[in-house]
Each structure stands twice: as structure tokens, then as C-alpha cells.
Amino acid sequence: MSTFIRTIQGRISTIAYGNKELSLYIKEIMGGKPVEKNIVFSIDPNVIITNTTNQQVKLAAILKGHEVEIDYTRNKSKRTASKIKIIE
């Protein structure tokens, strides 16, 4: 059985390096109005992280406020990031 990988973009609101967890602010349109939503991701131990020039970097390179694109899998309500690209 293959895992469905989803992709989402947003802004890092918090990051817990020791717990390997981050939260992401995203903007959604609900009822015709933009709404900011906070989504929590655990970080896969084998995560691939790249910067704006597509060079591989360590988790410590991700900072609060960075705009990122995350590839993730979802198991019930748990989201796990497998790839993180810093956009800006």
C-alpha cells in the first residue's frame, strides 16, 4: 500500500527542534473570507530540508517566520513532514 503525499505552503509559527515538531500558519478562504489556520506537523527523522537555492540544510536552518513548502503524510490526525523547502 502506497502512502499519499500531500503538499502545503505556509509560514512557520513555531518550531521545537528537540521534539522535532513545527506548526505552520496557512491562509484558507472560508465563507468568502481569508482565515489563518495553524497546523502542527511532526518531523520525520529522515526529513529532507532544502533552502532557497535547493541546497540541503539541517533542521536548525528553519526559523520562525520562514515561508516553507512541506510534503507530508497524514495518519488520522497526525501529519508528518517528509520534505521541507524554505521558500523565503
Q: Which cell numbers hold the place of 33?
A: 473570507
The answer to whether position 1 is within a domain reads no
1 confidence band (pLDDT: 50, 70, 90)? very low
Q: Residue 43: which CATH number?
A: 2.40.50.320
Span 44-70, average pLDDT? 96
* pLDDT higher than threshold 60 for residue 52: yes
pLDDT of residue 4: 87
The answer to whether position 12 is within a domain reads yes
User: For residues 43 and 53, is the Cβ–Cβ distance under 8 A?
Assistant: no
Length of the chain equals: 88
Q: Which cell numbers hold the place of 30?
A: 472560508
pLDDT tens digits, 18-46: 999 999 999 888 888 888 899 999 999 99
What residue numbers bound the domain in which 11 lies? 6-86
User: Is 76 strand, coil or helix?
Assistant: coil
Q: Read off the pTM.
A: 0.89
The answer to whether position 79 is within a domain reads yes
d(CA 30, CA 78): 23
The answer to whether position 62 is within a domain reads yes
* pLDDT higher than threshold 80 for residue 62: yes
